[in-house]
């Protein structure tokens, strides 16, 4: 199994990076984690065959994690997608998706897709299986608007991938990422403490309790990107592939 960072940027394109979108593929799985506004061109740059993506997991309804869906769906329609697609995310996802589609491409939410499309709500700490992918969402803390906010613990092909989503430090990240083969964690700032986002210094305190086998930092501001050379951690880059 492998995970490609199609996009690992923040909402503001810091470092010229694309919005959040990770692509996981293996012998029997093919899914995306988040689909931010710039994800369709980023997927095309990586040469990813969109027709084979079976599932898109959405962590929350901020544009840099979710606003790529209208483009993805429209492109799928025009490219005559044939494979069924499941989009799963926090409570309210169906309404949010329709609203985003209407704002960006009027009437597009009323289009009958040529392919089977299911939109599924996920509840915190309720494990769901989608084919060979098992997903457990955990509630995280990321402000007042754009939620509910979910971190994901994802099991597939005998491996565990955890993604913090956007969040300030919250204890739910421990069960979400405990002993994971790969923990992808937001590290927005180095040591500045802000509401709604995680700084590396805060995360560091908890890494022992999380005990992930591998940590990769993502969703970094210019503050973090400017320090990467000197940090003893792996950090994501757009296009980077990790074997699992
Ligand atoms: Zn974000
Ligand atoms: Zn966000």
CB-based burial label for 171 (10 Å; 0-12, 13-18, 19+):
exposed
The tens-digit pLDDT sequence of the chain (244 residues) is 999 999 999 999 999 999 999 999 999 999 999 999 999 999 999 999 999 999 999 999 999 999 999 999 999 999 999 999 999 999 999 999 999 999 999 999 998 888 999 999 999 999 999 999 999 999 999 999 999 999 999 999 999 999 999 999 999 999 999 999 999 999 999 999 999 999 999 999 999 999 999 999 999 999 999 999 999 999 999 999 999 9
Q: Are 191 and 200 in contact (CB under 8 A)?
A: yes
Q: Tell me the per-residue pLDDT of 144-194, one tens digit each, with 9 for 90 and over.
A: 999 999 999 999 999 999 999 999 999 999 999 999 999 999 999 999 999
Give the ligand with the smallest distance to the CA of 168.
2
Q: How far is 30 from 92, CA to CA, in rounded Å? A: 24
For ligand 1, an ion, list residues with CB under 5 A: 64, 166
Give the ligand with the smallest distance to the CA of 14.
1
3-state helix, strand, coil in the chain (%, to 5): 25, 30, 45
Distance 142 CA to ligand 2 centre (A): 7
Measured in residues, the chain has a length of 244
Distance 242 CA to ligand 1 centre (A): 21
This prediction has a pTM of 0.97
Strand runs labelled E in the chain: 2-7, 21-25, 30-33, 55-57, 85-89, 117-121, 128-130, 133-139, 150-156, 159-163, 182-186, 215-218, 234-235, 241-243
Q: How far is 36 from 27, CA to CA, in rounded Å? A: 26
Distance 227 CA to ligand 2 centre (A): 22
- Tokens standing for 142? 């990321």
Distance 224 CA to ligand 1 centre (A): 15
Which residues face 153 on adjacent strands? 136, 162
CB-based burial label for 243 (10 Å; 0-12, 13-18, 19+):
exposed
């Amino acid at each position: 199994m492998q995970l490609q960072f199609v996009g690992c940027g923040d909402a503001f394109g810091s470092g010229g990076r694309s919005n959040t979108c990770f692509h996981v593929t293996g012998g029997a799985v093919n899914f995306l984690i988040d689909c931010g506004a710039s994800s369709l061109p980023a997927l095309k740059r990586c040469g990813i065959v969109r027709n084979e993506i079976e599932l898109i997991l959405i962590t929350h309804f901020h544009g840099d994690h979710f606003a790529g869906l209208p483009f993805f769906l429209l492109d799928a329609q025009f490219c005559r997608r044939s494979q069924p697609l499941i989009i799963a995310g926090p409570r309210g996802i169906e309404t949010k998706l329709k609203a985003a589609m209407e704002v960006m491409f009027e009437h597009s939410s009323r289009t009958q897709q040529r392919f089977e499309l299911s939109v599924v709500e996920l509840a915190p700490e309720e494990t769901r299986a989608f084919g060979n992918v098992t997903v457990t969402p955990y509630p995280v803390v990321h402000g007042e608007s754009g939620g509910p906010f979910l971190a994901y613990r994802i099991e597939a092909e005998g491996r565990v991938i955890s993604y913090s989503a956007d969040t300030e430090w919250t204890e739910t990240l421990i069960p979400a990422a405990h002993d994971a083969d790969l923990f992808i964690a937001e590290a927005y700032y180095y040591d500045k403490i802000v509401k709604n986002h995680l700084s590396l210094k805060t995360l560091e305190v908890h890494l022992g309790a999380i005990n992930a086998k591998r940590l990769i930092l993502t969703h970094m501001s210019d503050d973090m990107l400017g320090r990467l050379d000197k940090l003893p951690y792996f950090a994501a880059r757009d296009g980077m592939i990790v074997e699992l």
